[in-house]
Chain A
Amino acid sequence: MADGTLDVEIWRGGADGAFERFTAPARENQTVLDVVTWVQRNADPSLSYRFACRVGMCGSCAMTVNGKPRWTCRTHVSRVAKDGALKIEPLKNLPIIKDLAADLAPFFEKWSAARGRFEAAIGRDDPLVPISPETAERQAASSAIECINCAVCYSACDVVAWKPDYLGPAALNRAWAAWNDVRDGDRKGVLRAVSANGGCHNCHSHQSCAEHCPVELNPTAGIAGLKRATSRAMLRGDLK
């Protein structure tokens, strides 16, 4: 960054692609997404990447930056560049579509497999179920519901890398919220889903998910909660 430029290496192509080097201007205040956008607009318009909101809400701009998964729209270059150098790759543990765009289909399929959807117990004409914010379940759910679906945790997870059918931290974090939602009509279904082969019991609690989560959630804690819930249910004979 000394001479006012950044040395930027960007992954090009699919899984068998390679890094391409660009020189981008170093600015006092810029995010990694700003740099990627500069490259696409000024150096190579064929560069593919994904973003939407640019303010850390939509979770679509996550990439691997200097080896770590990050939300690029809220990651300042000054915080992550090493001697003015950036190495930007697509998210790990997911197929590459092209350049910096990873295919998130397996990630969201696992949300479904973890029983991430809400199963309504009542109809739309029934009165609303009052939920006190003080209850243990509501507070446990609160710790999990701010997920922006960016897949940073999934990319950071060692177990996903070793065991590709593992559901991963984000899907299990969603399952933890669903398990604690007392309005859900099939909460045992959540426990069944997370007890399957690639389920919560594969987690080694390395906590890479919690370390890298941009919104500071702790999926490891939720997964530990699911392990406790499934074990209790099994000892009581509710889960066979």
Chain B
Amino acid sequence: MIAAKLFLLQRISAIALAPLVIGHLIVILVAVQDGLTADEILARTQGAVGWMLFYGVFVLAVAVHGAIGLRAILAEWTPLHPRAVDGVAAVWLLVAVALGLRAVIAVTG
């Protein structure tokens, strides 16, 4: 049943990512209008709870979506044992969550 659960999680994270990716692309286009400096970015993001939530959810959705996708690729394209595949995907998930949330907190905290 784990396959069915991961499938559902993959679809739910994709649903979350669709508007978040579009929002992120819009942010990029708007942010570069007045030049792109660290000061300018931090002025917009620091202390902004909205951006913290936006990118916090983004990081979690990317980490989950990527880990499940990576698991499928490893299972189909490498000779790794299924447990090793699960292990690599789990480590990728934890690393992506840790690095991503660290960045979100640094920029919006």
Task: List residues of A whose CB falls within 8 A of some B CB.
Answer: 159, 162-163, 192, 195-197, 199, 201-202, 227, 230-231, 234-235, 239-240
Contacts and interface: CB of A to CB of B under 8 A. Distances in A.
A197 B2 CA distance: 7
Interface hub of B6, B7, B72, B77 (most chain A Cβ within 10 A): B7
Contacts of B76: 159, 162-163
Given A163-B75, A195-B1, A240-B1, A201 B6 contact: yes
Given A162-B77, A163-B75, A163-B76, A231 B7 contact: yes
B3 A234 contact: no
B77 A234 contact: no
B85 to A, nearest CB: 11
Nearest to B8: A231
B4 A231 contact: yes
6 contacts: A162-B77, A195-B3, A199-B4, A201-B6, A231-B7, A239-B4
B42 to A, nearest CB: 41
Contact of B3 (A159, A162, A197, A235): A197
A235 B7 CA distance: 12
A167 to B, nearest CB: 11
B1 A196 contact: yes
Main secondary structure of the interface of A (DSSP, over half): helix
Q: Looking at chain B, what size class is its interface with the partner chain?
A: 10 to 19
Nearest to A226: B4
B81 interface: no
B9 to A, nearest CB: 10
A198 to B, nearest CB: 8
Nearest to B77: A162
Given A192-B1, A199-B4, 9 more contacts: A162-B77, A195-B3, A196-B1, A197-B2, A199-B3, A201-B7, A202-B3, A231-B4, A231-B8
A108 to B, nearest CB: 22
A235 B4 CA distance: 11
